[in-house]
Structure 1
Amino acid sequence: MRSTLPTFNEVWQRQFRTRVLKQMQCFPPESTLLIGCSGGMDSMLLLHVLSALYPQKIRAIYIDHQLQDSSAAWGAFVSAQCAARGIDCVIEKVDVQSGNLEQQAREARYQAYLKHRQAHEILVLAHHQQDQAETLILRLLSGAGVAGLSAMKILDVRGQLSIWRPLLDVSREQICQWATQLKVEHIEDPSNLDTHYDRAWCRRELWPLLQSRYAKMQQAFARTSYLMQDADDILQQVLAQDLSACGSDGVLDLQVFAQLSAARQRQLLSAWMKGQDSYRPHFEMVQRLFNEVIHAKIDAQAALHWNQYYYVRYQQQLFRLSAAEYLAEKNQSAATVVHLQLSLNQKINLLSGSYQVAPAQIGLSHCLLGKVLNVTQRQGGEKIHLYARVGAWPLKKALQEAQIFPWQRYTIQILSIDNVMLGVFTPKGFWLAQSDYCEVGGWQPNLSS
């Protein structure tokens, strides 16, 4: 009986070649192609097809994860196949970190792609329709939202990396037939049969069971992923509007945030926490941010740590701080007195930033230049009489009024001579204190960075 699947030549003429050419028009005319080749049937078929279509515009890359004894031999096979077609091939060894092996291998692979990607080069991957369906199933089982259920895109831009998957609409059955007709040589990775891995389990155990009941399951899952991509595009537009209204990548205004619906609040927090990383936080982590930080008592010094960042609330604002910034005070060595002898135009580096001594309309007396001045860290309880203000008031209150955040206050340093406060170095600049050393045409340290 003649197969109902179209032959490769028919598909090439009627569908595949036209679709590939149309998709290529989405890229700048100077674009070239970097094909990710594992040596398997899918990627070797892709190499065969694109080498015929764009012989002068492609090269290949094989990522050796070093997880199997045969991985180096597979790299040699890919290299030989490329050489036979006159295609340059890069072989890159990577070290896969411990943890979720599939996820860590994927991360190492994409880092290698970024390393070798050249200007105007598009990464081409051989994911097909069954890969798409498996991805959607696995993400559904992990509790993914709209973005996760969007699965893979035919054209996907991730920062500096543009990814093209020309086989994503092609079934696994068609790929097998085409590869057989064209006598495409390939290798078989035994890990694809190891059901210890989630994807192999899905393919060998779950897939046949579901397909026995739902014959068109593969196409249905693919359609669902496209619908989710549309939904995700709409959601991203709403998120961009909400983020613009509520703040920025580093801070959210909780008063504006509170006016959003509960659903939009959850989505905005999830996307905001993700930032530039690959994955959003789990639903439970977003809920913890609500419970432990946003809804904590007003006087609570609450902070949530997730994925190398700390999330802290201060005066109706929610901040996203790097670990280095949030833990800087704890990592600071014991306070010491710094002795300075200053001159005009001199640059000094202090905890709150870099300063340059410069003439000022109102400033410190020139008689202090060249003398030994003391710089000490704030201990708490100090009072300051700011220049042109009436009376002294607690330094802590001045810091609060200036909205200098608690995690920055370890950088506060006091400039003095003979127990006379001359001013205070802060992340927002130098504050001149009222003293007998203030004069017209004096000098001040100006914060430069």
Structure 2
Amino acid sequence: MAYSGGLDSSTLLHALAGMEAARARGLSALHVDHGLQADSRAWSEHCQRFARSLDVSIRRITIEVGPGAGPEGAARRARYGAIETVLAPGEILALAHHRDDQAETVLLKLMRGSGPEGLGAMRTLRPLGLGHAWRPLLDLPQATLRDYASLHDLPWVQDPSNFDMTIDRNLVRAQILPRLRERWPEADASLVMASAWARAASDFIDVAAEQALASLQGLDPATLRYRGWLDLPEALRDPSLRRWLRGLGLSEPTHFQTAELMRQLAEAGDDRQPCVRWPGAELRRHRDLLYASAPLQSPPLDWMARLDAGDVVLPADLGVLRLVSAGDGTPLIEPPFPLYVRFRHGGETIRLSGSEHRRELSQLFQESGLPPWERGRVPLVIAQDGTLLAVADLWTGEEGQALFARLGCRVQWAGRSGTAG
């Protein structure tokens, strides 16, 4: 279990140590030293003494707390990040959060404008790393824990940061909740009950959002039918969008950015390609689909490289272009004249097999449905005289087919990222 040395975790560790079932499951303590207080080393030593007095093994890990929106949040992220790295598959981490903590969390989430998931606050059991986090005390007020500690004469340490009123949770704990309890004695129970209702609503919405996303996602997972998304009930639009982005490994928007996306999708004409971006993600509309990607880079207009038997590493994280064997047993032959790789300059044409006339590359791109923002990121294979031989491995012109047949090769575009097909 997670053991800080405070009242709550000392009570839980003592109670678990008295349970044969907990010991049979391999009860041990984990102490995270944030190094934020001058006495942190002494606290760690106290924790080790108390665990040993209970005949419970204890592990101490030291972390560095980086910058964040606030010291409490930064410490929490660092703490759970470290715990996730040491939690074994299927292992359960017991946490000593109680009903008072839950009530505080609900108020804090409310002040941040959270939706049902946030207002659902802490769950009794949730996934954590390769295991689970378990909060067995959520139904108990801290007064019960304090009575238990007093009864068993348990020692604990007091963190002086608990008295820092610049920390939001401390302010809620010391000033806001006491005032609420004066007026409404059952304030904690009411907040926790409201949290349970919000959690149930969140679970329902989560299932509905998953079903909605399955019906809207395109053949390319990075696409979404935007009109169907706009037609979703308001309660499903935001969670289905976030589920989609999480599945793609992209960052999620703020509520303002989601509202701006909705506005642009609803108001932009069919001839426009609206784009809403935030750190880590870009969303663009093309035809009937919404495309999501990591921030895209544009290759330099004047970039050009020689294409021979080796790999050409393309700029803007666009992977590698190479000539590979055609696979028919013909040995790969070096080109008799220089071949080059570059990107669109505009006005390129290509004659496809069986066609009497050259086609404009822009027209081919449009007919293929390739989104406009991707067209300038497709590498072109050019002959020394400027003839367009191949458009990556998408199309090969008649001149290119004849040349590559003689050389026993074909063009391969590999390792590209962020390109929607």
How far apart in 2 are the matches of 1:134 and 1:292? 37
Q: Tell me the residue number matched to 1:209.
A: 179
For the pair 1:317 / 2:281, whether they are aligned, the reply is: no
Q: Which runs of 5+ in 1 are unaligned?
A: 1-34
Q: 1:185 to 1:278 in 2, by over 3 A?
A: farther
Q: Does 1:296 align with 2:260?
A: no
Q: Which one-letter code corresponds to 1:211 in the other structure?
A: R
Contact 1:132–1:152 under 8 Å retained in 2: yes
Alignment of 1:361-400 (within 5 A): 369=335, 371-400=337-366
Aligned to 2:232, what secondary structure does the other structure show? coil
- Residue 200 (structure 1) aligned to one of 170, 176, 180: 170
**Counterpart-to-counterpart distance in 2, 1:178 and 1:236:** 38
Match of 2:383 among 393, 417, 426: 417
Code of the residue aligned with 1:76 in structure 2: it is E
Match of 1:339 in 2: 306
Q: CA deviation at 1:158?
A: 4.5
2:120, 2:9 → 1: CA distance? 23
C-alpha separation between the residues in 1 aligned to 2:66 and 2:327? 57
Corresponding residue to 1:100 among 70, 73, 88:
70
Q: Deviations over 1:129-166 (max 9, x none)?
A: 11111111111121111111111111112463411001
CA separation of 1:252/1:294 partners in 2, compared to 1, >3 Å: closer, same or farther? farther
User: Taking structure 1 as reference, are residues 275 and 138 closer, same or farther at Cα in structure 2, changes over 3 Å only?
Assistant: farther
Cα separation, partners in 2 of 1:357 and 1:282, compared to 1, 3 Å: closer
d(CA) in 2 for partners of 1:276, 1:382:
34
Cα 1:301/1:258, change in 2 over 3 Å: closer
Cα distance in 2 for residues equivalent to 1:382 and 1:276: 34
Q: Please name the residue that 1:5 is paired with.
A: none
- Name the TM-score, length of structure 1 as normaliser: 0.80
Q: Which residue of 2 aligns with 1:264?
A: 236
Match of residue 368, structure 2, among 399, 402, 426: 402
Deviation string for 1:325-384 (max 9, x for gaps)?
x2x21xx45633322333xxx7665445454512278xx998764543222222122112
Q: Matched residues in 1 for 2:336 and 2:275: separation? A: 44
Per the alignment, residue 200 of structure 2 pairs with 230
Q: What residue is the counterpart of 1:431 in the other structure?
A: 395
Cα displacement (A) at 1:90? 2.0
The Cα offsets for residues 200-233 of structure 1, whole Å up to 9 and x where unpaired, read as: 1111111111111111121222222222221111
Query: Hey, what's the Cα distance between the residues in 2 that align with 1:201 and 1:262?
Result: 34
Q: 1:80 aligns with which of 49, 58, 71?
A: 49
What is the RMSD of the two structures over their aligned residues, measured on CA atoms? Answer: 3.0
How far 1:313 sits from its partner (Å)?
1.8
Question: 1:113 maps to which residue?
Answer: 83
Distance 1:187 1:159, change over 3 A: closer
Could you say if the C-alpha distance between residues 436 and 280 of structure 1 is closer, same or farther in structure 2, counting changes exceeding 3 Å?
closer
**1:187 alignment counterpart:** 157
- Give the corresponding residue for 2:136: 166
Shift of 1:448: 5.1
Measured after TM superposition, the shift of residue 385 of structure 1 is 1.6
Deviation at 1:256, TM superposition (A): 2.7
Report if the CA contact (8 A) 2:2-2:95 is conserved.
yes
Q: Distance in 1 between matches of 2:197 and 2:360?
A: 59
Per-residue Cα deviation, 1:169-228 (whole angstroms, up to 9, x for no partner): 111110100111111111111221222111111111111111111111212222222222
The Cα offsets for residues 390-412 of structure 1, whole Å up to 9 and x where unpaired, read as 42222122123223334433432
Q: Distance in 1 between matches of 2:123 and 2:195?
A: 9
Unmatched segments (≥5 aa) in structure 2: 416-421
- The amino acid of 1:431's aligned partner reads W
Structure 1 residues 234 and 105: alpha-carbon distance in aligned structure 2, compared to 1, 3 A threshold: same
Q: Does the 8 Å CA contact 2:33/2:60 hold for their aligned counterparts?
A: no
Q: Which stretch has the larger CA shift, 200-209 or 313-322?
A: 313-322
Q: Does 1:37 align with 2:9?
A: no
Q: Specify the alignment match of 2:32 in structure 1.
A: 63
**Residues 259 and 437 (structure 1), Cα distance of their counterparts in 2 relative to 1, 3 Å cut:** closer
Amino acid at match of 1:314: H
What does the per-residue CA deviation read over 1:287-308, in whole Å, with 9 as the maximum and x for residues that have no partner?
1121245533444453223342
The answer as to 2:275 corresponding to 1:306 is no
CA distance, structure 2, for counterparts of residue 355 and residue 71 of structure 1? 57
Counterparts of 1:399 and 1:353, CA distance in 2: 21
TM-score of the pair, normalised by structure 2: 0.85
Alignment length (residue pairs): 403
Which protein is richer in strand relative to its size?
A: 1
CA distance in 1, matches of 2:250, 2:132: 15
Could you tell me how far 1:251 is from its partner in structure 2?
A: 2.4
2:255 equivalent in structure 1: 283
- 1:178 maps to amino acid: Y
Q: Compared with structure 1, are the counterparts of its residues 433 and 280 closer, same or farther at alpha carbon in structure 2 (3 Å cutoff)?
A: closer
Aligned equivalents of 1:283, 1:114: Cα separation in 2: 29
Q: Measure how far apart 1:62 and its partner are.
A: 2.0
Work out whether residues 87 and 129 of structure 2, in 8 Å CA contact, stay in contact via their aligned partners in 1. Answer: no
Closer, same or farther: CA 357–92 of 1 in aligned 2, 3 Å: same
Q: Runs in 1 of length 4+ with deviation above 6 angstroms?
A: 276-280, 364-368
**For 1:443, which of 405, 409, 413 is the aligned residue?**
409
